[in-house]
Structure 1
Amino acid sequence: MPKMVLTAEYLSINSNDLSEYTRKAEVTVEVEEKDVTNYKSLGWKEVIGGLKSGTLACEFLQDFAATKLDAIMWPLLGTVVPFEVRADQAAVGTSNPAYKGNVLISGWSPVTGQVGDEATVGQDFTTSGAVTRSTA
């Protein structure tokens, strides 16, 4: 069985390669369950898929220098922008699919942590529209 350790994940937000700041990038997609149980179901619950939604959960190492992470993300607050995540920074292919879509930058926590902690930013972004998987 093949195994993989993530050592070079790729994350782009609004066409900015943020891989050098990224500690975690998780794309989660799900479908609502809609209960369509009726008397003909004979006591068994029946469900069908409803609306799809997704989340891009990220953890970054903060950088306040000009043109760096905070300067890239702060102006995006409140906007919908494209994202792309790959398991590896290598080219997109059958063994390295790209997950793409748009996210709403609904929040940004520029300063968090306690004494002695690394300066990190943990933020979840909700997808807007379809999330696609491509291998080419």
Structure 2
Amino acid sequence: MSAGNKPNYKGPKIEVRQQTRSIEEGKRVNLFCRLTEEPESVHWILDDEDMKSGGRFKVWNDKADCYCQILVTKEDDAGLYVFKARNKRGECCTTFSLHVIPSVKPISDVDVKELLWQNTQQNEELVRSNSSK
């Protein structure tokens, strides 16, 4: 990493099983952007609202790799996403859209809680299997 450059992105990417910018309601979606420089701050924004970790959302970065994970998508997760990163030398910004295909059966809050629990169990199993290797 050079000390004199502002961040620039090498993305963005939306990583979903179907490898499209559309996702079925209730599925997990991973938003990802790789930067050329490590940022001081990162923001994922949907409809002018800064997304924070909690509930159905996980937001984090690992050096220059930046992630926003929606564990259980809902119809209102569709829209224009803005990714912004900043360091002392400047800011970069990019946008992309996500389309959520409505479920045939409406997803209730009970369904969301069950899907979140299932995702947590799957993540714990992955951690256990990786740590035993």
Q: Shorter-normalised TM-score: what interval? A: 0.3 to 0.5
Structure with more of its chain in strand, by fraction: 1
- Rg larger in 1 or in 2? 1
TM-score (norm 1): 0.35
Structure with more of its chain in helix, by fraction: 2
TM-score (norm 2): 0.35
